[in-house]
């Protein structure tokens, strides 16, 4: 029983991220992960999403920490529904916030 509880607490502590990559052709790719560094490496090695494989290299231009996988999925869906112009605004707003 104790192992089960430990597994649950580990899952609760696990951070998830929603992220946006800029592909070589200038397009954006949005996804979620619990390990940004590993996921970006996967994308750049060609073992990430099918979309990014033909658009290498990719560069991480936005990430947002989420409390859990569900929140990350909701944010991913919201970002994917944005127009390109609004995605650029989100990226710019986040960068400006980090600088100040």
Could you tell me if residue 88 is inside a domain?
yes
With cut-offs at 50, 70 and 90, classify the pLDDT of residue 14.
confident
In a domain, 59, yes or no: yes
Continuous segment of H or E residues that includes residue 64: strand 59-66
Q: Tell me if 46 sits within 8 A of 7, measured CB to CB.
A: no
Q: Which 3 state secondary structure label does DSSP give 8? A: helix
User: Domain range holding 63?
Assistant: 13-94
Report CA torsion sign: 36, 37, 41, 44.
positive
Give the pLDDT band of residue 12 (cuts 50, 70, 90).
low
Any idea what the CATH number is for the domain that residue 24 is in?
3.40.1440.10
Residue 41 lies in a domain: yes
In sequence order, which residues have a C-beta less than 8 Å from that of residue 84 and are 6 or more positions away?
Answer: 28
Total domains, the chain: 1
Asked if the structure places residue 99 within a domain, the reply is: no
19: enclosing H helix or E strand: strand 16-22
Q: pLDDT tens, 50-96?
A: 999 999 999 999 999 999 999 999 999 999 999 999 999 999 988 75
Residue 5 lies in a domain: no
In this structure, is residue 33 part of a structural domain?
yes
The pTM score is 0.82
Asked if residue 100 belongs to a domain, the reply is: no
pLDDT in tens, 19-45: 999 999 999 999 999 999 999 999 999
């Amino acid at each position: 029983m104790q192992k089960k509880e430990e597994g649950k607490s580990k899952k609760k502590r696990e951070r998830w991220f929603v992220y946006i990559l800029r592909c070589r052709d200038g397009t954006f790719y949005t996804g979620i992960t619990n390990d940004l560094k590993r996921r970006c490496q996967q994308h750049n090695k060609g073992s990430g999403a099918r979309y990014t494989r033909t658009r290498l290299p990719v560069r991480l231009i936005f990430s947002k920490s989420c409390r859990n996988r569900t929140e990350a999925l909701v944010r991913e869906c919201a970002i994917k529904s944005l127009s390109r112009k609004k995605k650029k605004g989100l990226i710019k707003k986040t960068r400006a916030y980090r600088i100040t």
